[in-house]
Amino acid sequence: MTKIGMLRLSLIASTVLGVTSVAFTQQADMSFFISSVGKGNGADLGGLAGADAHCQALAKAAGSPSSNWAAYLSTTEPGGNAGVNARDRIGKGPWKNSKGVVIAKSVDDLHSASVNINKQTALTEKGEVVGGSGDPVNVHDILTGSDPQGQYSTAGGETTCGNWTKSSDGSAIVGHHDRTGLMKETRHMTSWNSSHGSRGCSQDQLKASGGAGLIYCFRTD
C-alpha cells in the first residue's frame, strides 16, 4: 500500500473513532429518554419496580454508566389515599437527552411552560426520534398516570391501569411527547405529560389511541 493510501485509511479510522467517542460520551451523559420499546404487555409494566427496571435495562444497553433510573409514573391508592407522584421519583435534574440537549434544569422547570420537551428533543435512549402525530406510525401517547404538575391524578376513574399492572380493560393518563393533538391543539393535547386517558390497557388498545406502552425515563443521580 502506498503512503497516500495508508494516510487515507488512518484519516478514516480517526474519523470513525472520533464519532464513536462523541456518541459514547453523549450516551454516558444522558439523563432522560423515552423508552424505545414498551414491555410488550400494554400498560402492565410490572408496577413501578418493573417500569424502573425497564428504564435501567435500556439505559445500560445504550451505554449509560448509571443504574439509577426511574420511570416517570404516578400511582393511586384506593379510598382516596395519597398516591405516588411521578415528579417525586426522578431526582432533581438537570436532565439531558442522548444528544446532550437539556430538556429541563429542575423539577419545577420540567413542569413549567419553558420545558424543552418536544418531538425533536424527546429522543429514545438510542438517540432516535419517536413517531408522532402525522407520521406513518404515531406512538406519541407516553404513559404517565399524572396530572400536569406530575402528581397522581384526582380526576376520578382509573388513571394508571391498576398502578401499571393491567393489560386489559381500564385506562391510564398519557402525555404527548410531540406536544401535538390529532384533531385540535388544546392545552391538554399539547401537554407532554397529561393529555388524555387511554382507551384501555392492552397493547392493542394503547395502539388504537396512538400509543405503544412507551414511558419517560429519568436518571435520578
pLDDT value, residue 2? 57
What's the pLDDT score for residue 18?
A: 41
Q: What is the per-residue pLDDT for 26?
A: 54
At 216 the three-state DSSP class reads: strand
* Positions of the chain with pLDDT under 70: 1-27, 79-80, 182-188
Exposed e or buried b for every residue in 23-35, given b needs 16+ CB within 10 A? eeebbeebbbbbb
Please state, in angstroms and as integers, the Cα–Cα distance from residue 98 to each residue in 101, 198, 219, following that order: 7, 28, 12
How far is the C-alpha of 105 from the C-alpha of 27, rounded, in Å? 18
Cα separation, 83 vs 37, whole angstroms: 26
The per-residue pLDDT for 154 is 83
Q: What is the pLDDT of residues 48-97, one digit of tens each?
A: 999 999 999 999 999 999 999 999 999 998 766 778 999 999 999 999 99
The predicted model scores a pTM of 0.86
Task: Kindly state the helix (H) or strand (E) to which residue 215 belongs, with its residue range.
Answer: strand 211-219
H helices of 30-181, in order, are: 47-62, 107-110, 161-164
CATH for 29-219? 3.10.100.10
| Half-sphere exposure of residue 190: CA atoms within 13 angstroms, side-chain side | 8
What does the DSSP 8-state code read for residue 129?
P
